[in-house]
Homo-oligomer: A and B are copies of this chain.
């Protein structure tokens, strides 16, 4: 598969733009981020941007795709570290809360993303986060650990709770202390899905 030099440079250009965009969007927010400054930061101009991504929203979509994949991977890793499927589910949720402490994820994935692109479930990458959580819950239902419930519904609520918790933690004065409370509350809530209390 001879990926000629042209295609190679193209990918490099896209990568540079996405890198600069992640930085700018995270620091200034989507609305306040200037395309001129952003592309200059990447050593390019707006021409490259509109050629590769169509428009400003297209760039945001690309950025979100990338971060979403990273988050899903992080969640998967957390789940794999656990001993039981249920523990894995909990760890996955905790991982989301902790990941969402990073300003970049907060600003881009939780605040600007939904506002600009609408409902996360209909995002380009189909939102890997939601899909993995849904699959996890579905497995737990089939395993008879979790009550028979609509897996997607549960995933939505659990994710929403986790991400909202993260927003709260990050905005607080003492994030570390508040994080503990958030995780505890999350465990309690999640336990409501159990068939019988452990």
Contacts and interface: CB of A to CB of B under 8 A. Distances in A.
Interface of A: 29-31, 110-112, 114-116, 118-122, 147, 149-150, 152-154, 156-165, 167-168, 170-171, 178, 181-182, 184-186, 188-194, 197
Describe A's contact surface by its main secondary structure: helix
A185 B154 contact: yes
Given A160-B164, A165-B157, A185-B154, A115 B118 contact: no
B156 A188 contact: no
A184 B112 contact: no
Contact of A184 (B153, B161, B182, B188): B153
Given A160-B160, A197-B197, A167 B115 contact: no
A189 B156 CA distance: 11
A50 to B, nearest CB: 19
B111 A153 contact: no
A118 B110 CA distance: 10
A156 to B, nearest CB: 5
B164 A156 contact: yes
A189 B194 CA distance: 9
A119 B167 contact: yes
Contacts of A192: 188-194
Given A111-B114, A114-B111, A149-B184, A189 B119 contact: no
Contacts of A162: 157, 160
Contact of A150 (B116, B163, B185, B197): B185
